[in-house]
Amino acid sequence: MKDSTLIFWLLSFTKPFKGKMSLAILLGIISNLAVVAIPVISTLTLLRLIAGDAVYLSVILAVLIGCGILRGVARYLEQYQNHDIAFSLLAHIRGEIFAALRKIGPARLTGKNSGELITSISTDVEALEVFFAHTISPVFISLGTTLVTFIFLARYDLGLALVLLAGQLLIGGIIPFISYRKNLQIGDDYKKAFVQVNQTIMENANSLKDIAQFHLEKTRLEKLKADSNILNHENRRRIFQGNSLQLLSELVVIGTTLCVFYFGSSRGLSMNTIVISVVLSLSSFGPVLALGNLGNALLTTFSSGRRLYQLVHEEPFVEFEESTESLATVGNLQAENLSFHYPATDKAVLENISFELNKGQSIGISGESGSGKSTLLKLLMRYWDPDSGKLTINGLPLSSLKEESLHQLEGVMEQSTFLFEDTIANNISLKRTNVSQAAIEEAAKAAALHDWILSLPEGYETQLSKLSRSISDGERQRIGLARLLVYDAPLILLDEPTSNLDYVNEQAILASFKEKLQDKTMILVSHRDSTLKIAEKQLHLENGQLKNK
Amino acid sequence: MNTKDFLYAESIRDNLLLANPQLTDDELWHLLDQVKLSAFVGQLPEQLDTVLEENGKNLSGGQRQRLILARALAASAELYIFDEITSGIDIESEEIILETLKALAKQAIVIFVSHRLYNVLAADQIYVFKDGRIVEAGTPQGLEQTSDYFNAYFTEENRQMRGAIDHEG
C-alpha cells in the first residue's frame, strides 16, 4: 500500500476542520517568527549601538517583551487548536471504525483474533494523533516560517539565504524522508510485536485453568517474556533511529551555521550581514527540527494508519440495498436449489437445498456437527449469499431487502448469547424504549427466569456484574430466549436454542414457546429430537442435502 | 475438564502435547481414535499440523469438546473430574464422549457432574445434589428401585413437559 493513498485518506477526515486548521497554521507561523524575532532584533540593536546610531532602548525592550508574550499566547492557541482538531478527529474515527466493523459484519470478524481488534480500536487510533496534531499544520507552519526567514535574509544576501534554506530543507524534508524510507519496516515490526504481546496476554488470561492443569506456568511465562523481548528489541531499534535522526539534525544546524559564517567571510560580506545571518541561522531551525522528528514518529503512526485503512476498507461478503420497500410481515419464505461453499474453501457445504414455509409454519432441521445446519441459518441472515439458487421472502429476493428491514423481520438466537454489563431487564429489552416492563416479565416467565430474577436483591434491576456468582450457561441462554420473545419478530431463526438446558427445563420452555410463537414462521436447527419436535415438519441435513425425515 | 477449557491458536499436535510433551505421533493418533476424531483430522490437508483458530473457533462445538477430551486423556491422570462437558454439543459427540468416559473409568477414577440424568446412568455411584447437600446416593439400579428422587424426577419432568413452568431444576 502506498503512503500517498494513506495520507489522502487521513487528510479526507480533516475537511470539516479547514478553518480551524488555517487558524492554527497562522498562529504557528506567528509564534515561530516571534521566537526568531527576539535574537534578530537584539542583534540589530547591538549592531546599531556598536555603530553609534541612535537607539530607543525602552521601545526595543518593549518590543522584545511583546515578542515573548506573543510567542507564548500564539503557541498556546496553536497547540490548543491542533489538539482540539486531532482529538475531535480521533473520536470521529473511532466511530468510523465501529461503523466499518458493523459493515463487514460478523462473518468476516470470526477470523480476527481478539488481540488484533483491541489494538486497532485503541492504540492504532490513538497513534493517528501524531499525524493530525503534529504533522499537517507543522508542515505549513514550517513552510511559512522558512519563507519569511528566507526573504528576510535574501534582502541582505541571496547566497547566504540559499545556504540557510538548504540546511532547513535538509533537516525538515530530505533527512527525515530518507530515514523514514530506509526504516519503513521498523514501524510495522514494532506494531507486530506489540500485537503479539497483546495476543499472548489475552490467551494467558483466557486459559488460566489450562495453564494450572498442564503446568504451563513456565512455558507461558517464557512465551510472554520472549514476546516482550521482541517488543523491547523493536522498541530499541525505533528509539535508536529516532535518536540518530535527532543527532544528525543537530549536526546539520551547526554545519549550516558554520557554512553561513564561512561563505559570508570568504565572500567579504559586511560584518553586519554575517552576524545577522549567523544569529538567524541558529534561531530559525525550530519548526524544521519539529518536522525532522516526524521521520521517526510517523513510522509507527503510518503503520497504525495502514492497519486501520485495511480494516475500514475490508470488503464485506454481502452488500445491503440502501432503499427498498420494507416488509412488515413474512407471508412466505422460500428456498430454491440453494448451494453454498465458504469463500476460503472448495468444499460445498450445502447443495440444492429447497424448502418452503408459509406464515405460521415451522420446520425443524437436524444433522450432525458440521453438516451445514448453522450455515443454512446464516444464509437466511445474509452473513453470506448462496453461490446459486434463490432465497425469497414474500416473493422478494432476500438480497433486495435493506439491512434494517431484514433485522426487523428476523428474530435470531444463536448458540451463544452475548450479555451486556447492564441490568437483567435491559439485557432482555436491549434498552428499546417501546418494551414495557410487563412484556419483559412475561418473556422472562416463558423462559423460566422470572422466579430466579425475583429472588435477586434488586430483581429485574439487578446488574449482571453484581451477581454473587457468574451467570451459568443455562441462565445466559434463557436470557437470550426472553430477549427473542420480547423482540417479537415475524420470522424466528433458532440455532440450538436450548443446548445448555437440561431436559426438564428444555421441555418446559419449549412448551411455552410453542404457545407464544404459534403465529410465527420458524426455522429451528438442533441435533436433539427433543428440541425439534416443537416444529411441525422435520427435515434432516446430511452431506449438504436436505431430506425428509 | 469443564466447558471453559481453552485451545491455543497453535497446531493440533502442539495443543495435545501440552498435556504430555513425550507423546509420539502414533500415540496422538491413538488418542484421536479414542474420541473418534482421527477420520476428521486425517482428511485435513495438514493433519496434525493444522493450526487452530483462537480457542478452536474453527471446530464445531462437539469436535472442540472431543479434542479437549483427547488432551485430557493425554495427561494419563489417575483422577478425572468432568463438569458438564456434554452440554451444548451434538448427540453423536455426546455419545462418543460418554463411551470414552466409560472406558476411561476402568483405569482411572472418574467424577462426572451433569444435570442430565441419562448422562450419569452408567456410573458406579450416583450422588444427587440439592441446595449444596447430597440428598440421595447409591447405584443407578438401586436408586431406580428405592429412591423417591428418581420417581419424583420423572413425574416432575412429565408435568413440566406438558408446559408448566416451574423454578429452576
Residue-wise pLDDT tens digits, B68-110: 889 988 888 889 998 878 776 666 777 888 888 888 888 889 9
- Beta-strand relationship, A362-366 and A537-542: parallel
Residue intervals of chain A classified under CATH 1.20.1560.10 are: 91-312
Tell if the CB–CB gap between A499 and B93 is shorter than 8 Å.
Answer: no
* pLDDT for the residue numbered A112: 64
Q: What is the DSSP letter of B95?
A: H
* pLDDT band at residue B168 using 50, 70 and 90 as cut-offs: very low
Chain B interface disruption, residue of A112, A369, A533, most B CBs within 10 A: A369
| pLDDT for the residue A230 | 93
What crossing angle do the helices spanning A57-109 and A136-154 adopt, rounded to 10°? 150
pLDDT value of position A482: 92
Distance, in angstroms, between A347 CA and closest chain B CA? 12
pLDDT at B166: 45
Q: Which amino acid is at A272?
A: N
| A110 with B169: Cβ contact below 8 A | no
Q: Would you call B61 and A369 a contact, using CB atoms and an 8 Å cutoff?
A: yes
Residues of A in contact with B162 (CB under 8 A): 511
CATH of A332-548, one of 3.40.50.300, 3.20.10.10, 3.10.510.20, 3.40.50.2000: 3.40.50.300
Residue B167: its pLDDT value, please? 41
Residue of B nearest to A448 (CA): B165
Q: Which residues of B touch A (CB under 8 A)?
A: 2-6, 8-9, 18-19, 53-55, 57, 60-63, 75, 84, 87-93, 115-118, 153, 156-157, 160-169
**Each residue's pLDDT tens digit, A329-375:** 888 888 888 898 887 777 788 888 888 888 888 899 988 767 788 88
Q: In what order do the strands lie in the sheet with A521-525?
A: A410-413, A491-495, A521-525, A362-366, A537-542, A545-548
Give B17→chain A minimum CA distance, Å.
10
- pLDDT of residue B165 exceeding 60: no
- Asked if A440 and A429 count as a contact pair (C-beta separation under 8 A), the reply is yes
The DSSP secondary structure of A85-120, one letter per residue, reads HHHHHHHHHHHHHHHHHHHHHHHHHTTS-HHHHHHI
A377, A523 Cβ separation under 8 angstroms: yes
Length of chain A: 549
Higher pLDDT, A419 or B148: A419
Q: How far apart are CA A387 and CA A396, in angstroms?
A: 18
Nearest residue of A to residue B53, measured between CA atoms: A111
Mean pLDDT by 10 residues, chain A (549 residues): 86 87 91 90 88 85 92 92 89 85 74 66 83 86 90 88 90 86 82 87 86 86 93 90 87 89 85 85 86 82 85 79 73 88 81 88 82 86 88 85 84 86 91 89 88 87 79 83 90 84 73 82 84 85 80
Q: Which amino acid is at A422?
A: D
Q: Quote the pLDDT of residue B37.
A: 82
Q: Which of A210, A370, A445 sits opposite B165 (nearest CB)?
A: A445
- Where does CATH 3.40.50.300 sit in chain A? 332-548
Give the closest-approach CA distance of A389 to chain B in angstroms: 26
- pLDDT tens digits, one per residue of A51-63: 888 888 888 899 9
Domain A91-312 has CATH 3.40.50.1100: no
Across the interface, whether the CB atoms of B165 and A111 are under 8 A apart is answered no
- What secondary structure letter does DSSP report for A325? P
Question: Alpha-carbon distance A433 to A65, whole Å?
Answer: 61
Q: How confident is the model at residue B143 (pLDDT cuts 50, 70, 90)?
A: confident
Query: Does A368 contact B at CB distance below 8 Å?
Result: yes
